[in-house]
Amino acid sequence: MSLERALREVDKWFDWGVELLKKMVSVPTVNPPGERYGEFVNRVAEELQEFADVEIVEVPRSFVAERKPELADYPRYILVARVGGSEPVLEINGHYDVVPPGDGWSRNPFMPVVEGGRLYGRGAVDMKGGIAAGAIALRAIAESGAELGGCLELLLVPDEEIGGETGTGYALEAGLVRPSWVIIAEPSSINTLWIGHRGAVWLYVEVLGKQAHASSPWLGENAFVKAARLAVALEEELQKLYSSRKSSYEYDDPRSAHPTATLGGETYGGAKINIVPGRFRFSIDRRLIVEEKPEDVEKELRSIIEAKAREIGCRVRIETVHRMPPSVTDPQNPLVKTGIEAIKNVARVEPRAVVCSGGLDMWYYTTRGVPTITYGPGPEELAHQPDEYVDLEQVRTVAKVYTYTALKLLAK
């Protein structure tokens, strides 16, 4: 009966959750640099403290300065809201930072409106809609009077859009939260439950040449031309190598079951049209399947780059700027099984339990041995797009899935 009552409470507090979502979207928490974070957490705390224990923690500026020095003058805040007892802990994780609105909007991105069952605004789907679903679930369980044999907590963090070190990373490193299980509320859509995500290694390859006047190019060494030859050679070699590797897990896009490498997302070089370029740099974004490790991938990639550079006859410098390990939770874990059960019973669909092609904050938890899944309201393809919106019925459904999962895992 407590489960049925709690699910009814979701419907009772759904309109409250929509109003909360409007308030959240109306605060432009744009990152970079991380604007109006304090206003956001204070506004949300006012709503949540009516029924939950709420704590707001500022990330130490020294911690931010060490990892993101360009953002050290912009305060970062973490909010934790809890209902229930102590352990075990089911955590719902949501990031409240949003990307810049960009161009192409037909409406003000920070004046949320509801039309046709959709709430429009920057951050509506990525991922303040997921936060709203988590808040509704938290309130529904609190108001239902259900006795929990543990704790349901909602963790709101900044900076997922720039890697998460000063958000989820800090919350775990500082011991602000110690969850037993985690649901990340990113927009997966109703039919999809992500049990993991691919990893990434980003690096820059700088090809060194010799600058000269373009009227006498024989006196120089064209770094751009050599970089182009190197890039083509690498593309061919890596495509051949990675097509022969395939993960044993199912991915949301079957093509993601293979490693990939994207060359030239960023390029830089040359000084002027009449100068032989003495340097040229291009990026490589290498995505990892869950069986791979960043250190092994980086070592292999550097070896291939250096070998191809020798073949072409060019000098290179290689700089690694980002490493993110892949993440996966065992499909047989109770969290995954309970999440699937909840989706089947609440959403009346057979969900796909798959690995996400992109990257998420899941790895911060799974590398610490904490079972983690990702499930949130969509549509996911609207993230970072103009006229972003979230489907409000999906917010309701996801709130019920969270409520069902929490009571199954935590009820006495």
State how far the alpha carbon of 6 is from the alpha carbons of 47, 85, 140, 401, in Å. 19, 17, 5, 11
Q: How high is the mean pLDDT of the chain? A: 97
The predicted-structure confidence for 319-349, as pLDDT tens digits, reads as follows 999 999 999 999 999 999 999 999 999 999 9
What is the per-residue pLDDT across 305-321, written as a single tens digit (0 to 9) for each? 999 999 999 999 999 99
> 2-197+327-410 maps to which CATH number?
3.40.630.10
Phi-psi sector, 164: left (phi>0), alpha (psi -120 to 50), beta:
left
- Domains of the chain, by residue range, sit at 2-197+327-410, 199-324
Cβ neighbours of 253 (radius 10 Å) = 11
- Taking the C-alpha atoms of residue 258 and residue 283, their distance in angstroms, rounded to an integer, is 20
Assess whether pLDDT exceeds 70 at residue 1. no
For 294, the enclosing helix (H) or strand (E) is helix 294-312
Q: How far apart are the first and last CA of the chain?
A: 13
Which residue type is seen at 166? T
What type of residue sits at position 172?
Answer: L
Condensed to tens digits (0 to 9), the pLDDT of residues 199-225 reads 999 999 999 999 999 999 999 999 999
- Distances in Å between the Cα of 53 and the Cα atoms of 93, 141, 238, 288, 318 are 16, 13, 51, 39, 49
Distance between CA atoms of 79 and 330, rounded to whole angstroms? 29
Q: What is the pLDDT of residues 64-98, one digit of tens each?
A: 999 999 999 999 999 999 999 889 999 999 999 99
What span, in angstroms and rounded, lies between the C-alpha atoms of 244 and 331?
A: 25
Strand partners, 154: 81, 92
Ranges of beta strands (E only) in 19-110 are: 53-58, 77-84, 89-95
- Residue 366 neighbours by CB distance under 10 Å: 20
Q: Which residue from 188, 130, 125, 175 is spatially nearest to 154, judged by alpha carbons?
A: 130
Does pTM top 0.75 for this prediction? yes
Mean pLDDT of the region 371-384:
94
Give the pLDDT confidence score for residue 380 in this predicted structure: 85
The proportion of the chain whose per-residue pLDDT surpasses 90, expressed as a percent, equals 97
Q: Is the per-residue pLDDT at 181 higher than 70?
A: yes
For domain 199-324, give the CATH number: 3.30.70.360
The predicted pLDDT at position 86 comes to 86
Percent of the chain at pLDDT above 70? 100
Tell me if the bond preceding 33 is cis, omega within 30° of 0: yes
